[in-house]
Amino acid sequence: MNLRHTLGAFFLLTFCMANLLFAQIPRSGKSNASPAEIEKAKEAVEATPDSLRAHRTYLFAMGLSNPLIVSQYEEWMKKYPGDVKIPLAISTVYYNAEMPQPGDFLLKASAMQPQNGKIWMMLAADADMKGENELSTEYLKKATLTDSANADYAWEYLFTFEHGDQRVYRQKVFDFVKRFPTSERSAQALYWLCERTTNLNDRIAYLEELRELYPPQKFRWSASGMKILADIYLQTDPTKALTLIDEMGNGDSWKIRRHISESLIQVAELERAQNYSDAIAKLNQVKLPQYSSIKDFLLLKKASLLEKSGNLNTAYDSVAIQFAKLPSDQLDTALQSYGRKLNKNRDQIAKDIETIRDSTAVAAFPFELGLYTSNGKLSLHDLKGKVVLLTFWFPACGPCGAEFPHFEAVMDKFKGSRVAYIGIDVTPLQDAYVLPFLKNNKYSFIPLRGDPEFAFKNFGVTSEPENFLIDEDGKIVFKDFRIDGTNHRTLEMMISSLLEKGRKAE
């Protein structure tokens, strides 16, 4: 769920310390303030204990990783036992720095102000970061009880049902939409209902309802959903896609999609006329928007035209290159079909794919990093002879948290095999969250200590999650992939291919 990811902007905009929270939070956890500056900041807090700005200045002067901070605030709480701003100040600063210290102080603040929903929401996020999902849900429920008209609170509570009975969850989404018919949160709920749905007809139905209830010109989540719907229609009915695209205006991504839909309509006409060379030329002019799900569709369409034009070898090669990079059952079906027509058996096709992958594989950086589970270290050399699934992550990363269950579902199928599952945490300030997060979520990856500089310098990582598959010889064969509920097979096929390559080498 990872509430920190989904609620970060909400807290920044709504919490009572808004004028302070827009400033950039220091990420080092340390401070270069002199003893005199620290003493001055401390005096300012004691002179005006209700000043949130004074608290923030003091905390940053001390350095957020300074262990003396907690004892100082406990002393101030004894001195000002009824002042909720004391525990609220420290917990809010730590919360926005995405550090694990706020929990105990938030509980003390909640005891003083049990009707403050924002405190319960922050407690929910803190529990979520530790993988304490039931406790997080309990706090979310408390937040909704403080303000039943608050769509933000209700939306977060709604999503605690996401991984339960899907019929129940679906009904709760539609109940939420009826309850908050004009809220952006309702558009968001329908959007995510679509995103989590693998049935194509259901996806279309949810998106069409989103389109009808929440005009995309007014609701940003609906506008995002229309890109998904347009990409579906581009593959199933380009004319219907063009109608939708024309409704969406002239933004850059819509101009690109308009060109794609017009091109596909023309390609269909050229194909009917058996003018395959012009149809291929038309497809070659198509450019994809930055985020689009139709890359394989266009590639397979072009491959089909190449075959019809007599260029079977080129069709085979184009599919083989994409399959080698990011395999799928759909690509495999086409690849095997073209291969058979070229008198290639499965072993020959597999050899072709291996050759392509070998040509692009590069040696992974020979890391040696500290373990969270002991005082020891783990190196890439220690993993020689194993396929390594490597992900760069950090506990507050929402997309990381969303991807982990899918990794686990795939890794369950490779238990007992030569596969190592490694996670390098790039945010040392969140170290205290790592082991509770793994234990409570029952995640199986081996957590290693990293930092942003290591990730960028040695693996080119600029954002998380970023994933790599390393073969038994320490070479990166697969990268730039993400796994969700729709593509478990892709990861299975990638891992299986590397294990098979290792068996052949023995």
Residue recorded with tokens 């596969």 = 419
User: In terms of pLDDT, which residue wins out, 4 or 56?
Assistant: 56
For β-strands 387-393 and 419-425, DSSP reports them as parallel
- Model pLDDT, residue 15: 33
- The predicted pLDDT at position 174 comes to 97
First vs last C-alpha separation in the chain: 42
Q: Report the pLDDT value the prediction gives residue 249, as an integer from 0 to 100.
A: 87
The Cα 51–Cα 499 span in angstroms is 60
**Dihedral angle sign, alpha carbons of residues 240, 241, 244, 247:** negative
Query: If you average pLDDT over every residue of the chain, what do you get?
Result: 92
pLDDT in tens, 60-109: 999 988 989 999 999 999 999 989 999 999 999 888 888 887 788 999 99
Q: Collapsing DSSP states into helix, strand and coil, what is residue 422?
A: strand
**pLDDT tier at 3 (50, 70, 90 boundaries)?**
low
Task: Provide mean pLDDT across the span 437-455.
Answer: 96
- For the stretch 468-500, pLDDT in tens is 999 999 999 999 999 998 899 999 999 999 999
| 3-class secondary structure per residue, 309-326 | CCCHHHHHHHHHHHHHHC
β-pair type (377-379, 368-370): antiparallel
Mean pLDDT, to the nearest integer, of 142-162?
Answer: 96
The token pair at 106 is 């938030």
**From CA 149, how far away is CA 84, in angstroms rounded?**
25
Q: Where are the beta strands (DSSP E) in 130-283?
A: none
Query: Residue 322 above 80 pLDDT?
Result: yes
Count other Cβ atoms within 10 Å, centred on residue 251.
Answer: 11
pLDDT at 388 over 70: yes
Say whether pLDDT at 446 is over 80.
Answer: yes
Find the radius of gyration of the CA atoms of the chain: 27
Question: For the segment 246-281, what is each residue's pLDDT rounded down to a tens digit?
Answer: 999 888 999 999 999 999 999 999 999 999 999 999
Q: Global pTM?
A: 0.89
Contacts of 119 (CB under 8 A, 6+ apart): 88, 106, 109, 110, 113
Percentage, residues of the chain above pLDDT 90: 83
